Structure 1
Amino acid sequence: MVHAATAERFSSLFASFDRDADGRISAVELRLCMKAALGEEVSAEDAEALVASADADGDRLLDEQEFLRLVAPPETEEEERCRGLREAFAMYEVKGEGCITPSSLMRMLARLGSEQGIEECRAMIHRFDLNGDGVVCFDEFKVMMDA
């Protein structure tokens, strides 16, 4: 899977390669743009092979998704896992603070249907508060999720 931010960056690159603005990149367009971008001549055969390597629908043209698969490496499992952990962390953290406090933990647990008191939340935080500052930062959250 390619991350959405990566896809956005390559969208404008796709538009620049799509010389005739038909929403598809041909091997000819690919050759022209690679010559302009790299300053080197790419053979017709190499350009056609590149197109064929990512052409999922067999039309010998690259739509934006096919182009993205060609130029943007997919996220590694670790990158995808870390992104998922960041999304989960964001649900619990105090916005703008970058940490989970006992009160932010208590609020989120209540939303999830688990009524916990502030002291219980402090105890939960304390278990994974590796630096003793009374809150859980993202790195501590990752350790907690791996436990």
Structure 2
Amino acid sequence: MVVCHSLPSELVTLFAAFDKDSDGRISPSELRVCMKTTLGEDVSAAEAEALVASVDADGDGLLDGDEFVRLVSAAEVMAEDERRRGLREAFGMYEMEGQGCITPTSLKRMLGRLGSEQGIDDCRAMICRFDLNGDGVLTFDEFIVMMNAS
């Protein structure tokens, strides 16, 4: 196996798993196989080639260690963007229309819709736990902190 010294240590094992022929490079076909077996993602040959091409700095149609790191980083950014969109959508369900925040009243209303009847004091206590600036409501950033804590 060719060892790629430029890879962060946490990615060495992952790179080796994708580099089936141990040549120090990952081909689009190796990428496809490993995405299916390790991540459960079924990508077409064209999609795998496009993924490789998106970070292939030297134009050889293969991923070296640095290019692999860029691909993993891009995937992490895309996953975080998707997660943030989902959180924004969830936040929108709880916030009071036009307020841009979750109030005890809007939290009580949404919990009631979800079948969990809570008193207004209980809702204030729930908000207080994650209300970082002490204004009695949850902003989107405070909501993210709350969701990361659970």
TM-score by length of 2: 0.49
Larger RCO, structures 1/2 (Cα 8 Å, 6+ apart): 1
